[in-house]
Structure formats: C-alpha cells, structure tokens
A and B are shown apart, each in its own frame.
Chain A
Amino acid sequence: MKVAFLGATRGMGRSLSRLMAGRGDELFLLGRDVSDLERSAHDLEARAGRGSVGIARCDLAEPGGFAAALDAAESRLGGLDTVVVTAGDFARQEELEADTDRARRLLEVDFTNTVTFCEHARKRLLARGGGGGGGTLVVFSSVAGERGRKPVVIYGAAKAGLSRYLEGLDHKFRADGLRTVCVKPGFVKTSMTDGLRPPPFAGDPDDVARTVLSAIDRGQPVVYAPPIWRWVMLVIRLLPRFVMRRIGF
C-alpha cells in the first residue's frame, strides 16, 4: 500500500504506522511538528530496515495546507491508495465547558477540519488512475460519538458528526471503489488519555493497531477496537435516558 498518514507520531497512529512499515507498506507522514515527524520517519525506517519515509507538515488546525500536504505525499509515493487519519484534538469535558473558545477549536479540528481533510483525500483517491479507482480512507473517530454522554458531551458531538460523515461517504462512494474505514476506539491507554482513570476493557495501542490493520485489509466500514467495545457500546446505546442521566459514564 502507498499510505499518507496524518498522526503517525503518537499513540495509536504510531503503533499502526509501525505495523504497516513492518510489512512493507510505503508511508508518507503528515503532522504538525517537522522535527517530530523526522524522528518518527527514522523510527519506521530503522524498524522496517528498508525504504525511506517522506514527511510533510500538515496541521489539522490549518485547512489551507491540506491540499499541498496531500500533493507532496502523492508525488513522493508515486500515487496514493490509502489515507489514514489518526490525528485529532482532545480535552476533558470540564476544560471545554470552562473555556468556550477551546471548545470551538476542538469542534473545528475534530469535525470541520477533519471532514475537510477527508474531502481532499477522497477526491484524490477517487481520481486515482490506472484502473485502480478509489482506495481506502481510514479515519479514527471514537466510541464517544455513539451516545451523548456526560464525560464527552462536546468531544463526543464532534466524533458523532465525523462518524456520520464517514458513514455517508461509504454509502455514496463505495460503488466507485472508495472504501471508508471508520475506526471507533474505546478507551485506549495512550498519552491522550494519560491521567484519566482507565475503565474496564481499556485497550493497548499495539493491539488496537492489529485489529485496525486487519479491518483495513478487509475494507470493513466500521471497526471497534478493542473489539469488545462494540458490545459495550451496544449496551450503552440501549440504555434509557433516565439511566444515562444518572450514571457518570
């Protein structure tokens, strides 16, 4: 695969990009901090023991740079068949409630700008020549978007919107060869969730990466990771409102 990867420097993105590089996929890394990207590129090169990994700056907070970043990836890789987005913004509900401007920035990054980035990616994947038409767009949403919940009112709303967008893309463009994979991680122990108390079934980023990679290979439209969260969220979705008002989850 020829993969443009936004968010490979940390957390689940780091784990997934290592699996991909390890099996011989060609990667191009996009991210905010060039020196951090360089370090991750070196890591992937050293672990894979072959090839070289290109990088370009791309910040989800700056939609103006999306097209150029994807162009750079496309020309360096000589085409593009997979785009992965693991990057996103996160803050705790209390912080977002206290600072409305912070909340607006999070909504913008996690919804508006992520969708905008996906639109740029979608066009490139659909326009892919050589009879290969389409490709795979993998985006990390969250189980937080499955139900309005107290600890993730705002973050969850952004992720709910993102999940719906990806669902719509899948319905509209799958016939044209575009496969969308919406990843819904449950609680995963990464630096993003450091300091939060892990609930039962908290996952490990390397295990999540394995689940996600096999879903990408199969073109599965929605993947819960760790897989048990599919059933956890099924229960949560079935809970009546009066229960959701009472519990803290």
Chain B
Amino acid sequence: MRGREVRSEDLEELTRDAVLSRGLGRSYGDSSLPPPGHPVVAATPLADRILAFDASTGRLRAEAGLSLRAINRAFLPRGFYAPVTPGTQIITLGGMVAADVHGKNHHRDGCFGAHVTRLRMRVADGRIVECSPEQEAELFRATVGGMGLTGHVLEVECGLARVPSPWLMTESERIHDIDRFIDGLKEAGLRWPHTMGWIDCLSRGALMGRGILMKGRWAERHEAPPGMPPPRRRPSVPFVLPGWVVNRGSVRAFNAVFYRRHPPRMRRRVMHPESFFYPLDAIGHWNRMYGPRGFTQYQCVLPESAGRGAARRFLELLTRRGGASMLCVIKDCGPEGVGILSFPKAGISIALDIPIRDDTQSLVDALNELVIAEGGRIYLAKDQFTRPEHFRAMEPRLGAWTCIRRKWDPEGRLRSAQSVRVLGDRP
C-alpha cells in the first residue's frame, strides 16, 4: 500500500482537503490507510493539546491527536484515568472515537463513546460542526464507531473516571475449558469491573479453551502501595524476525509456558495499571515477531442468543483450520452503546492474532461464515480480510448508518482503504 501522511499541529488546516484522518496507526487492518485514489492521509498526533480540564467533574476537552498514554500519565497522579481503555495506550482520542474502543470493563461501563459528551468535527463539505448526544445527534451516533468515515474529528470532550488509587487490585486463575471459561467470565463480571481471559486456542478436546481468567478493580487507598507506579522500561524486538519463528510448535510452547507459569491456585496481587491494561505495550515493536509478512487480528463478538456453545464451535473451527494464534483474548461484552456501527453487543468477544499466510483469506472467510451463522459480527478496527458480502450479512445496521453518512457526505468524499474494500466506496 503506497501512501503518505501529512502532519500538522493545526487540524483545521490539515483536514481541509483530506479524505481521511489517522491517529497513531495501531488499528490492525486497513482502516487508517488512505484509499488508493487519494493516497494521502491527515495524521493527527501533533494536535495534542488539552483545552480544558475540570477536576471537580473529570471533564476533559482536547485536540483529537492527544494520546491515551499522555492522558493517563497527566491525570493518574491527580486521581483520574480514562473511563474505557483498549489494550494499547498508543492511540489518539480521535481513534478512540472512530473505533469506539472497548476495554475489559465493557460489561459494566460500555464503550468509550458512552463517555464522550461532545465532538468538534470537520465534515465532508468543509464546514466545522459540533455534535453531541443532543446536538446533531445522528452525526454523533454515526461518528462514534464510524471509523472516521463521517468526518474528521478535531476535538473531543469526554469524562475521565475518578480512581481511588493509581494501582489495580487483581485476581487471576487457571480455567480448564471453554465452557467453564464463559461461565467464569459472566460470573466474574457481576463483581468485577475489569475482566478478561487469555485462552490457549491450540489445546483440543477436553482442554479446549483452557486459559487464565483475569479480574481487576482499582485498589482502594489502604490496599495500594504508597507512591505512584514507576515508569516502566520497554524492551524492544530489535528487528523483524524470520517468518518461521511464529509457528504451531513455538505457539504451542508459548501457550503451555504461559498457562503453567500461573500457579494452579487463585492468585491475588496489586498490579501496575500499565501491566494490567497494556501488557503488549511493554514490548516495543512486538509486531516484528511475526516476520516480514506480519500478522492480522481477528475479533468477533458472539451474541448471548447463540448460547455458550458458540465459543466452543468457534474454537473447534479455529483448531480444525490450524490457525496458530499466540494471543487469543476473550471478553465479556455488555449491551450495544450509542454508536450506530460500534462493534460490541451483549455476548462474548474473541480476539486473535493470525500470522499472515497464503491461506489467511480462506481462514477469515470460514470464521466469518460461522460468525454470521451465530448472529455475531466483527470489529472493523482489526479487520483486513472481511469480504463486503460477509460484512453486509453481519451488519443489519449498515443501512441506517450509510443513510446518515450520505446525508453528510453525498459525494462520498471521505473514505479509507477499508471503506473501499468493505463498503464499496469509490477508490
């Protein structure tokens, strides 16, 4: 994919003729890449000023390029943290809105969009518009989770969550199979604000879906160690490893070590928030592990209505197809939120890394067909392979969203490589 970024502190100027904005580029697929016919994308990370913060309410207003890491580092010492955080903090506010990110607390706090109170946008005809759940509400709801296709987000106003201490109190335990995992997640979700599980998706039979269930909440002041969590050192994968490094054997070994390293009993400990929320940010350039062809992610949600057997059927298909995934993460999703096209809905979300091989397309096709049959859907922020007909089949909301999008952009000016591929926009 050829293309280039233009960068500026001045988003109003930068977005005047742009067809797509891009934050820190950590979405796994092609959603932050420009369409082939207009290979320039407006990069927002230099527009990173905080415009207002009210410590009595936690309300923050900032330029869209402000990173989540900067927010957390600036406000954790003052007792505030992002109300919803994805698995990386190398993401901008604009990106958090565009993908309507969710975190380990989705079952309790919803997506990031639920905490956004106002957006300032440049829309396709060049106007600058403010929208909120009350004002231009349609535009707001189409933009939250709209993958940047309804307009350029210039400023974001959102609430930060007050936290009692800067540390997390966590519990983790081994779980022996997928059915118990689902039950464990749902049960933990009743008591814990943050839950997630890592599953070994290479183990089969009775052990299928074994893994480690993690639960966390912000520690109360009396439980927390004194002082702030120290800055973490970041080792880094120094160069792109050869493509064979990640294979079934090495993934199996990694998974076994990861599982066995955890003591068989419940483990209770206080954790650094960055270790709890962003385990992967701890290793710089970890993507290099996957070799020159790289990897893609696949994330879907399987709805509650499909029953707990759906996750088992998904894993059965995955192991049958031989998808070797190092990181398979399972999460509990709460109900749909404000974003018309947002990913989560009540059920179970499963996310995996898939090293790119010649058969990746057919693997994704097969997974998508199962997801459609179960009534689930995929997460655009991680997608690079879904076919348009599959996406339409899993998204009954697409029509309503497209209607609003067309109203604000009748000529279809705003688009991305992903929207060309999945939504059939003009190149």
Q: Which residues of A contact B (CB under 8 A)?
A: 9-11, 14, 39-40, 42-43, 46-47, 49, 190-191, 194-195
Chain A residues, Cβ within 8 Å of B74: 46-47
8 Å CB contact of A194 from B8, B49, B55: B8
Q: Are A46 and B53 in contact (CB under 8 A)?
A: yes
Tell me if B51 counts as interface (CB < 8 A to partner A).
Answer: yes
Q: Are A191 and B8 in contact (CB under 8 A)?
A: yes
Find residues 42-76 in chain B having any chain A CB closer than 8 Å to their own CB: 46, 49-53, 55, 63, 74
Q: Are B46 and A191 in contact (CB under 8 A)?
A: yes
Please, how many angstroms separate the alpha-carbon atoms of A42 and B49 in the complex?
A: 8
8 Å CB contact of B50 from A9, A10, A47, A195: A47
Contact digits for B1-15, partner A, Cβ 8 Å, 1 yes 0 no: 000001111000000
Please, how many angstroms separate the alpha-carbon atoms of A207 and B408 in the complex?
A: 41
Chain B residues, Cβ within 8 Å of A46: 50-53, 74
Q: Are B52 and A42 in contact (CB under 8 A)?
A: yes
Chain A residues, Cβ within 8 Å of B51: 39, 42-43, 46
Q: List 23 A-B contacts (CB under 8 A).
A: A9-B9, A10-B9, A11-B9, A14-B9, A39-B63, A40-B49, A42-B49, A42-B52, A43-B49, A43-B50, A43-B51, A46-B50, A46-B53, A47-B50, A49-B55, A49-B78, A190-B46, A191-B8, A191-B9, A191-B46, A194-B7, A194-B8, A195-B6
Please, how many angstroms separate the alpha-carbon atoms of A141 and B316 in the complex?
A: 63
Please, how many angstroms separate the alpha-carbon atoms of A14 and B78 in the complex?
A: 22
Please, how many angstroms separate the alpha-carbon atoms of A90 and B53 in the complex?
A: 34
| B55, chain A: closest CB distance, angstroms | 8
Chain A residues, Cβ within 8 Å of B9: 9-11, 14, 191
Chain B residues, Cβ within 8 Å of A191: 7-9, 46
Chain B residues, Cβ within 8 Å of A49: 55, 78
Interface centre among A10, A11, A46, A191 (most CB of B within 10 A): A46
Chain B residues, Cβ within 8 Å of A39: 49, 51, 63
| A155, chain B: closest CB distance, angstroms | 20
Please, how many angstroms separate the alpha-carbon atoms of A11 and B49 in the complex?
A: 12
| A189, chain B: closest CB distance, angstroms | 8
Please, how many angstroms separate the alpha-carbon atoms of A230 and B49 in the complex?
A: 31
| A48, chain B: closest CB distance, angstroms | 9
Chain B residues, Cβ within 8 Å of A11: 9
Please, how many angstroms separate the alpha-carbon atoms of A195 and B7 in the complex?
A: 8
Please, how many angstroms separate the alpha-carbon atoms of A47 and B74 in the complex?
A: 6
| A3, chain B: closest CB distance, angstroms | 18
Find residues 1-43 in chain B having any chain A CB closer than 8 Å to their own CB: 6-9
Find residues 74-115 in chain B having any chain A CB closer than 8 Å to their own CB: 74, 78
| A17, chain B: closest CB distance, angstroms | 11
Please, how many angstroms separate the alpha-carbon atoms of A42 and B74 in the complex?
A: 14
Please, how many angstroms separate the alpha-carbon atoms of A42 and B8 in the complex?
A: 19
Closest 8 CB pairs of A and B: A43-B49, A46-B50, A46-B53, A194-B7, A191-B8, A43-B50, A10-B9, A42-B51
Chain B residues, Cβ within 8 Å of A195: 6
Please, how many angstroms separate the alpha-carbon atoms of A209 and B52 in the complex?
A: 24
Chain A residues, Cβ within 8 Å of B78: 49
Chain B residues, Cβ within 8 Å of A9: 9
Chain A residues, Cβ within 8 Å of B55: 49
Chain B residues, Cβ within 8 Å of A10: 9
Please, how many angstroms separate the alpha-carbon atoms of A39 and B46 in the complex?
A: 14
| B23, chain A: closest CB distance, angstroms | 16
Q: Are B6 and A194 in contact (CB under 8 A)?
A: yes
Please, how many angstroms separate the alpha-carbon atoms of A191 and B5 in the complex?
A: 11
Contact digits for B204-226, partner A, Cβ 8 Å, 1 yes 0 no: 00000000000000000000000
Chain A residues, Cβ within 8 Å of B8: 191, 194
Nearest opposing residue in chain B for A194, CB measure: B7
Chain A residues, Cβ within 8 Å of B53: 46
Chain B residues, Cβ within 8 Å of A42: 49-52
| A76, chain B: closest CB distance, angstroms | 21
Please, how many angstroms separate the alpha-carbon atoms of A43 and B53 in the complex?
A: 9
| A184, chain B: closest CB distance, angstroms | 22
Chain B residues, Cβ within 8 Å of A14: 9
Please, how many angstroms separate the alpha-carbon atoms of A247 and B35 in the complex?
A: 37
| B10, chain A: closest CB distance, angstroms | 8
Chain A residues, Cβ within 8 Å of B52: 42, 46
In the complex, besides A39-B49, A39-B51, A191-B8, 10 extra interface pairs with C-beta distance below 8 angstroms are: A10-B9, A39-B63, A40-B49, A42-B50, A46-B50, A46-B51, A46-B52, A47-B50, A191-B46, A194-B8
Nearest opposing residue in chain A for B53, CB measure: A46
Please, how many angstroms separate the alpha-carbon atoms of A14 and B55 in the complex?
A: 23
Interface centre among B6, B49, B55 (most CB of A within 10 A): B49
| A19, chain B: closest CB distance, angstroms | 13
Please, how many angstroms separate the alpha-carbon atoms of A194 and B46 in the complex?
A: 11
| B118, chain A: closest CB distance, angstroms | 16
Chain B residues, Cβ within 8 Å of A194: 6-8
Please, how many angstroms separate the alpha-carbon atoms of A47 and B48 in the complex?
A: 11
| A163, chain B: closest CB distance, angstroms | 26
| A233, chain B: closest CB distance, angstroms | 26
Chain A residues, Cβ within 8 Å of B46: 190-191
Please, how many angstroms separate the alpha-carbon atoms of A81 and B63 in the complex?
A: 32
Nearest opposing residue in chain A for B78, CB measure: A49
Chain B residues, Cβ within 8 Å of A190: 46
Please, how many angstroms separate the alpha-carbon atoms of A46 and B52 in the complex?
A: 6
| A191, chain B: closest CB distance, angstroms | 5
Please, how many angstroms separate the alpha-carbon atoms of A49 and B9 in the complex?
A: 22
Interface centre among A190, A194, A195 (most CB of B within 10 A): A194
| A26, chain B: closest CB distance, angstroms | 19
